[in-house]
Amino acid sequence: MTRWPLPVPMQRALELAAEAAAAGEVPVGAVVVQAGRIIGEGRNAPRALHDPTAHAEIAAIRQAAAHLGSERLGGCDLWVTLEPCPMCAGAIIHARIQRLYYAAPDGKGGAVAHGARLFDQPACLHRPEVYGGMGEGESAALLQGFFRERR
């Protein structure tokens, strides 16, 4: 049996997550896609950059918005290897991301299907379509390997 391949944006997000791990950062990667083309990429880097906001999603969103010359990313999709935290879910709302694809769930830090469930809040200004689970095994393996080494 050959396993169905992951979509290219999730493959790239997983590569970015592996790069984060190699740099000593929690392995999370993200890309922003517009019309099938990657226009923003990011990986976790708060330690190296001395920036508590330097999550993968924030970096990918900032790069895509700079590329488009617009604070809104309507029609763009975000692919990320881990369920977004409240900060990143909030940025996804501000950026008007159309579809969110995330790989592994985050029962402790996530704010999409767990915790604050930001997109389900009555006052939420923009709700992306949300698809979870693609690449979950690959992402969870990266995270588990990273935290196992550090214990």
Q: Note if 19 is an active site residue.
A: no
Check residue 31 for interaction with a copy of itself (CB under 8 A).
Answer: no
Q: In angstroms, rounded to a whole number, what is the distance separating the alpha carbons of residues 103 and 64?
A: 20
Check residue 130 for interaction with a copy of itself (CB under 8 A).
Answer: no
The residues pairing with 42 across neighbouring beta strands, listed in sequence order, are 30
How many CB atoms within 10 Å of residue 69? Answer: 6
> Whose Cβ is closer to a copy of itself: residue 51's or residue 129's?
51
- Cα separations (Å) of 51 from 36, 70, 72, 111, 125? 30, 23, 23, 21, 27
Check residue 89 for interaction with a copy of itself (CB under 8 A).
Answer: yes
Check residue 94 for interaction with a copy of itself (CB under 8 A).
Answer: yes
The residues binding a copy of itself (CB under 8 A) are 46-47, 49-54, 58, 61-62, 65-66, 68-73, 85-91, 93-96, 108-109, 111, 114-118, 121-123, 125
